[in-house]
């Protein structure tokens, strides 16, 4: 998918780093910058962390996002190059990201809903290992998982925290999720599962007072949770744009051959 040259109303956003802010000034000098509400495409300048924040903040506008790497990590970004931006946008290829919806309930009775484009992760809050019951579509699959944590990853996020926890790398169009334990103690041989994208995952924290757990959807955290439900977010998605030689699907494939 490319953008027509006549439909390239660009809104620039940038992280607060000195390098990204300098690039923002340069891009605004070269190209017209419109308000977000009027844009047909958003150009994000920064690293992957900033890209995730930009996706969350600008989801309501429903326009494609094209990232330029000006940070330490740039898996979701294209190379920064101020020249020829209009031609790059016109020739860009699209990748559709479908987020997860996390709903949490805390021991205090408060609830929260958050979206995750990469993963939803549960982590122990103290020196005590977490004890978590895992259910899929209302059926208990693990009565008690003793671990440091557990996560549910999207294909786009499978090369991030999920990979560090020894989870599988998922093709972008695979329509599956990775369920990956973090330092599991019991069951000792359980290494996770690959789930259909429509699966509803429920986590129940056992003994939450002695063994408190936090839940994080990308960068949105809830502490002292007792119940967490994760499912695909219905009618919520975002389009990322990539240069043909740096498309996201090829990057995910190539990660599987990195030594």
For residues 224 and 239, give the distance between their C-alpha atoms in angstroms, rounded to a whole number. Answer: 34
- Residue 49 in marked binding region: yes
- Residue 207 in marked binding region: no
Q: Among 7, 33, 48, 250, which one carries the catalytic annotation?
A: 48
- Residue 148 in marked binding region: yes
- Residue 163 in marked binding region: yes
Strand order in the sheet with 238-242: 10-14, 41-46, 65-69, 238-242, 93-97
The question of whether 48 is a catalytic residue gets the answer yes
Judged on CB neighbours under 10 Å (0-12, 13-18, 19+), 5 is exposed
- Residue 245 in marked binding region: no
- Residue 160 in marked binding region: yes
Question: With the CA atoms of 123, 58, 100 and 68 taken in that order, what torsion angle do they form, in degrees rounded to the nearest 10?
Answer: -70
DSSP string, 185-250: -BSTT---EEEETTPPEEEEEESTTTS-EEEEETTEEE-SEEEEEEEEPTT--EEEEE-GGG-HHH
Angle at 31 between CA 26 and CA 32, to 5 degrees: 120
- Residue 149 in marked binding region: no
- Residue 17 in marked binding region: no
- Residue 161 in marked binding region: yes
- Residue 172 in marked binding region: no
Active-site positions read: 48
| Binding positions for NAD(+) | 48-49, 53, 118-119, 148, 156, 159-164
| Binding positions | 48-49, 53, 118-119, 148, 156, 159-164
């Amino acid at each position: 998918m490319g953008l027509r040259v006549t439909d390239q109303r660009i809104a620039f956003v940038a992280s607060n780093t000195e390098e990204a802010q300098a690039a923002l000034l340069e891009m605004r000098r070269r190209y017209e910058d419109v308000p977000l509400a009027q844009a047909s495409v958003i150009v994000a300048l920064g690293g992957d962390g900033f890209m995730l924040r930009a996706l969350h903040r600008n989801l309501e506008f429903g326009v494609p996002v094209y990232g330029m790497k000006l940070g330490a990590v740039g898996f979701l970004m294209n190379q920064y190059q101020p020249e020829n931006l209009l031609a790059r946008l016109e020739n860009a290829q699209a990748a559709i990201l479908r987020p997860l919806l996390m709903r949490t309930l805390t021991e205090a009775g408060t609830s929260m809903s958050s979206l995750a484009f990469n993963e939803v992760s549960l982590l122990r809050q103290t020196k005590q290992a977490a004890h978590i019951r895992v259910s899929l579509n209302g059926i208990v699959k693990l009565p008690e998982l003793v671990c440091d944590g557990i996560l549910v990853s999207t294909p786009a996020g499978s090369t991030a925290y999920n990979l560090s926890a020894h989870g599988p790398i998922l093709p972008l169009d695979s329509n599956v999720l990775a369920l990956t334990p973090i330092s599991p103690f019991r069951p000792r041989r359980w290494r996770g599962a690959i789930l259909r994208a429509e699966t509803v995952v429920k986590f129940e924290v056992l003994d939450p007072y002695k063994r408190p757990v936090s839940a994080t959807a990308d960068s949105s955290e809830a502490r002292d949770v007792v119940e967490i439900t994760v499912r695909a977010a219905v009618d919520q998605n975002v389009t990322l744009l990539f240069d043909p030689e740096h498309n996201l699907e090829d990057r995910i494939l190539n990660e599987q051959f990195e030594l």
